Structure 1
Amino acid sequence: MDHEKVNILLVDDQPAKLLAYEVILKDLGENLVIASSGREALEVLLKTEIAVILVDVCMPELDGFELAAMIREHPRFQKTAMIFISAIQVSDIDRLRGYEMGAVDYVPVPVVPEVLRAKVKVFAELYRKTRELERLNHDLEDRVRARTAELENSTAKLRESEQRRSMAIAAGNMGSWDWDWISGDWMWDEGQYRIFGVGPENFAVNPANVQALLHPDDVDQLRKAIAEFNKGTRAYETEFRIIRPDGEVRWCVGTAAATVDDSGRVVRVSGVTVDITERKRAEERQNLLAREVDHRAKNALALAQSIVRLTRADEVKAYVNAVEGRINALARVHTILSLSSWQGAELSRLIDEELAPYSLGGQILLAGPKVQLLPATAQTLALALHELFTNSAKYGALSTRSGRLAIGWQVEDQLLTLNWEESGGPLVMPPKSRGFGTRSLLASVESQLGGQAQFDWRAEGLLCRLEVPLIRKTAATNASGKFEDASSAELQRASG
């Protein structure tokens, strides 16, 4: 079998002996290195890896014992095998000295070729096996280091992945669980406990306790899931509600997957629970808003339809202007309410919007606190103010530069009182009959808002007093329980 050759150092001051050793050891097939003195042997050792040293004991300048001592002092050669060859009678004391110097064996002269060859071969093989073992150990250490580094890297990645998963679960209101189908044991993670509003220190996870936290109307979902898995279903998803110990109801979506054995029997079910309460609430708000938008759009269309149908005028242009003015007033208050997400409108904002088209400068004086109006109240009051401004601009104080208008309001016990006082305009004559604007104003304020509207057509200018409750005490309700605006119905009655 082919093997890596090792170096054998032959040290002797007699060339004839060196030649004889070469002939004897040639058949071993190793590399034979020659040194004719101890100093030359040291030089060879420093440059070459030597497996076995064959050294003559009796040499001039540096004998075999001295050379062995110098070799053993060097850390690199402390385990190098040395065989002494002695031509003189070797006593036990000489052998002991040689062993102390690091010799592993003695060969007497005359040398028996077979004995010398056998001994050198043994130590050469030992050196070779030792080197192979060292290489194997080194390779093994490298593999262990590489495997350790790989495991550490894998562990770090797993830890990082688990941290990301935990963060994602926490951020996404998620929890995970595992159910041993055979033993009935459950395992919940932190997120699962958090969703159900319980803790591992005071809640034992078992089917009875879990079922007790389910909404009574959704318990059948758990039974249905178990039945589906028993039928062979491998995955199941459903929405359900839980009732936390503090009474709070939460919406969840659960996804579960089954693990089966070789026979196809379910042995484990694992899943994820996601708290979707906020999404459900958002959907409910969206549906409510959609219904509200639909309701308000229908009312707005009904109002517009009533305005168009009931407005009277002697000519087309006047009719168009009247209709456009009333619809624009409705549009302006709609915009204000939209900006507040239909939470309400501020009274002074409504007045400012109605004043904007006139640009009357210092003719108008406003005085009053901030008052937030409900959407239905704001719509009705905006149309009433529009009728007052339109009438004043056509026939009253705002029809001339000398005219003045004072609008003041106050709130007491949730009752808004608004005073409209004109002066300095044309001479006022009480109307012989009430027009559509006046009738619609009276009908909407009194019938729809439950307030009162009083008119005093003084010669120096109109005086109007509106009293409007800020809290609706009576109102018609539709099938959904929402307040139903009565503007269009009141306009219909006003036209009569």
Structure 2
Amino acid sequence: MAADEKVNILLVDDLPAKLLSYEVILQDLGENLLRANSARAALGLLLQHEIAVVLVDVCMPDLDGFELAKMIREHPRFTKTAIIFISAIQVTEVDTLRGYETGGVDYVPVPVVPAVLRAKVKVFVDLYRTTRELERLNRELEKRVEERTAELAANHAQLVQSEKRRTLSLMAGGMGSWDWDLSQGTCRWDEGQYRIYGEDPASFQPTPENMGRNVHPEDRGRWQAAMAAVLAEGQICPLELRIVLPDGQVRWCMAAAATTGSAGGEPVHVSGVTVDITDRKLAEERQLLLAREVDHRARNALAVAQSIVHLSRGADIDSFTELVNGRIQALARVHTLISESHWRGADLRRVVEDELLPYMGEAHEVSVAGPPLFLPPSVSQALALVVHELLTNAAKYGSLSRPGGQLRLSWQVDGQSLAIAWVERGHHAVRRPTASGFGSRLIRATIEGTLKGNVQLDWQPQGLVCRIVVPATWQTVEHAMERTAAPGEAPADPAASQRRLRVLLVEDESLIALMIEEAVVKMGHTVVGPLGDFDSALAAAKGAEFDLALLDVNLGGRLIFGVADALRDRGIPYLLLTGYGSESIPPDYRGAPALQKPIEPDLLRKCIAAVMPATHAVVSAMASRPPSAASQILLHD
């Protein structure tokens, strides 16, 4: 409390005259004087005010002063309140002891000496004021201590959080940091630095000398020159160098460092950062190789297209356009397959099935059989053109020109040779052509010239039989499985596209749902649904029986991915349908096949055939779509 703030003094006596005399004596103290003519009144005032001193008469009719003092002391607010007894009778030692036991601090006998009473009361008033001031100061001190402690705790938490963010940032960026104390000669590495150097923190002692020894011999001179420069100039620009790990592995890193100087300008600390850029370097190398390969393949493709245009013959412009367009489309389809593998090649089954897919229906009996076989890009392109020419001839003149025709395409690897058999069977006689057209010339030039093999074209009465044998020294059967998206994926099922499936259809737009349902039914499958709301779709995904699901991504404003999760848990494949681009699909679901609206029935058929062999296979239907539908299939990495 403030020094000039008045305090309360409580005067207790049952005689008004005595109360008035106490007031006259104590008024010179300048404090607030409160009067009570009974113990009950005194207790009431005590509960209403903060009292510094209680002046109480020992002899009162209801409660004597000792009993009142005891009651005052029992209250937690007044355990330290000063109580002075006034007694008009002779006070014995027993009375004095009783007074002190009940909480009294002093006695004043009657007749009262005014100066003595004022002096005693003033002592306790000053003591009360000083005590309150000390309590105030103590509270302020405690508050400042609490605030400072909280501030330090907050700063510490921020520092810890900042260090965590720094560590996470370094880890996310493949980075490590180090610090070299020049005065102490000690060096400290963080976890990222140990990871980049491939060293064990328990056994490796980080020193500038050890760091230099881990640098590739060809880059060590530049590293030493850079460290000398940082000590002389204070910092170095980022330096690319190679690090040799304990197991002999070489990794590319980017290093940068700077010094912290003393008051005199001498460097005290050298702090540095190391960034692992091996992946970037490898990506740059792959990109350069890929750019060269793409350039090479593009020129070859243009040359092939030029030959197709130059050598194709047609009775009129329409037939010529049809021939050229079909052959270029065959090139485009196999080009897409090759690009999906980053120009490593293509699976023979995918090459032939993409060509034959339009004829694999009820009107014709088409079968494909053969072991998995991964072909190099040049062989994939050559065989795609050969299959296209044979298929074009069969569609115009052979077994596929009439309903009920049969076509069996098979291959096998025998030692170092790949043998392909194309067998047609129909219901009409087949005659050997009198002249060799562009198709036959292309087949022979491709097999015998490009692939160094041989081809036999046998026009039997029941249909054409073509046997092709080419050297297979370039292939490995095991490599064929590299197109698999995930370990344990089931191999392609050649009958999947003809199997009668139960298809769950989830689509909230009724017209689109009707169109898709009709297309699926025409494919020979059964539709479960269609369902137009999220809850129904989720319930079906968890309990209904079906083989495949077609899921509209945005279902009445709710995203479908909760339903996709339920399907994934049950191991049921699904195909996403979206009216947006690939950016609308979250990263966790970009491995799933997706078809972009508007939906074309032919593309839907091919997507279903592609997605059924494996739950999470990338949709390959883009390979056989027309150019006008180029944006309908979303291919994800």
Alignment partners' CA distance in 2, 1:52 and 1:320: 117
2:410–2:422 Cα contact (<8 Å) kept: yes
Give the 3-state SS of the residue equivalent to 2:35 in structure 1. strand
Tell me the equivalent position of 2:451. 449
Alignment partners' CA distance in 1, 2:13 and 2:464: 143
Residue deviations 1:87-128 (CA, integer Å, cap 9, x gap): 455555544443333332233444333332222111100011
Shift of 1:376: 1.0
Alignment partners' CA distance in 1, 2:89 and 2:407: 146
Deviating more after overlay: 455-464 vs 279-288 = 455-464
Equivalent positions of 1:142-161 (< 5 A) are 142-161=143-162
Tell me the equivalent position of 2:295. 294
Shift of 1:132: 1.7
Q: Which amino acid aligns with 2:286?
A: R
Equivalent positions of 1:288-437 (< 5 A) are 288-308=289-309, 311=311, 326-351=327-352, 362=364, 368-386=370-388, 408-420=410-422, 425=429, 427-428=431-432
Alignment partners' CA distance in 2, 1:368 and 1:452: 19
Q: Which amino acid aligns with 2:472?
A: L
Equivalent positions of 1:70-149 (< 5 A) are 70-90=71-91, 92-149=93-150
Q: 1:36 to 1:368 in 2, by over 3 A?
A: closer
Shift of 1:289: 1.7
Alignment partners' CA distance in 1, 2:62 and 2:462: 148
2:364–2:405 Cα contact (<8 Å) kept: no
2:84–2:107 Cα contact (<8 Å) kept: yes
Alignment partners' CA distance in 1, 2:389 and 2:326: 9
Q: 1:280 to 1:223 in 2, by over 3 A?
A: same
Q: Which amino acid aligns with 2:119?
A: A
Q: Which amino acid aligns with 2:414?
A: E
Residue deviations 1:159-189 (CA, integer Å, cap 9, x gap): 4454444444444433333222333322222
Q: Which amino acid aligns with 2:191?
A: E
**Please, which runs of 5 or more residues in structure 2 have no aligned partner?**
476-637
Tell me the equivalent position of 1:186. 187
Tell me the equivalent position of 1:488. none
Tell me the equivalent position of 1:467. 469
Shift of 1:294: 0.7
Shift of 1:8: 1.4
Give the 3-state SS of the residue equivalent to 1:281 in structure 2. helix
**Could you tell me the TM-score, scaled by structure 1's length?**
0.78
Shift of 1:221: 4.5
Tell me the equivalent position of 2:228. 227
Alignment partners' CA distance in 2, 1:67 and 1:177: 76
Q: Which amino acid aligns with 1:375?
A: P
1:397–1:426 Cα contact (<8 Å) kept: no
Shift of 1:201: 0.7
Tell me the equivalent position of 1:238. 239
Residue deviations 1:209-233 (CA, integer Å, cap 9, x gap): 2222222333344334323323434
Tell me the equivalent position of 1:282. 283
Structure 1 position 263 matched with structure 2 position 255: no
Give the 3-state SS of the residue equivalent to 1:124 in structure 2. helix
Give the 3-state SS of the residue equivalent to 1:51 in structure 2. strand
Q: 1:298 to 1:12 in 2, by over 3 A?
A: same
Deviating more after overlay: 71-80 vs 454-463 = 454-463
Residue deviations 1:459-480 (CA, integer Å, cap 9, x gap): 998765422122249xxxxxxx
Q: Which amino acid aligns with 1:290?
A: A
Equivalent positions of 1:31-70 (< 5 A) are 31-70=32-71
1:429–1:459 Cα contact (<8 Å) kept: no
Q: Which amino acid aligns with 2:470?
A: V
Alignment partners' CA distance in 2, 1:113 and 1:402: 136
1:9–1:50 Cα contact (<8 Å) kept: yes
Q: 1:36 to 1:397 in 2, by over 3 A?
A: closer
Shift of 1:297: 0.7
Number of equivalences: 470
Alignment partners' CA distance in 2, 1:16 and 1:364: 130
Q: 1:455 to 1:83 in 2, by over 3 A?
A: closer
Q: 1:380 to 1:372 in 2, by over 3 A?
A: same
Shift of 1:438: 5.5
Shift of 1:339: 4.1
Tell me the equivalent position of 1:205. 206
Q: 1:143 to 1:277 in 2, by over 3 A?
A: same
1:234–1:259 Cα contact (<8 Å) kept: no
Q: Which amino acid aligns with 1:409?
A: W
Alignment partners' CA distance in 2, 1:19 and 1:190: 84
Q: Which has the higher contact order (CA 8 A, sep 6+)?
A: 1
Tell me the equivalent position of 1:490. none
Q: Which amino acid aligns with 2:305?
A: A
Tell me the equivalent position of 1:195. 196
Shift of 1:30: 0.8
1:449–1:472 Cα contact (<8 Å) kept: no
Shift of 1:203: 1.1
**Please, which runs of 5 or more residues in structure 1 have no aligned partner?**
474-496
Alignment partners' CA distance in 2, 1:35 and 1:356: 111
Q: 1:425 to 1:182 in 2, by over 3 A?
A: farther
Alignment partners' CA distance in 2, 1:284 and 1:107: 105
Shift of 1:28: 1.0
Alignment partners' CA distance in 1, 2:248 and 2:383: 43
Deviating more after overlay: 391-400 vs 198-207 = 391-400
Q: Which amino acid aligns with 1:382?
A: A
Residue deviations 1:373-418 (CA, integer Å, cap 9, x gap): 2211122233444555667788888899999876553211141123
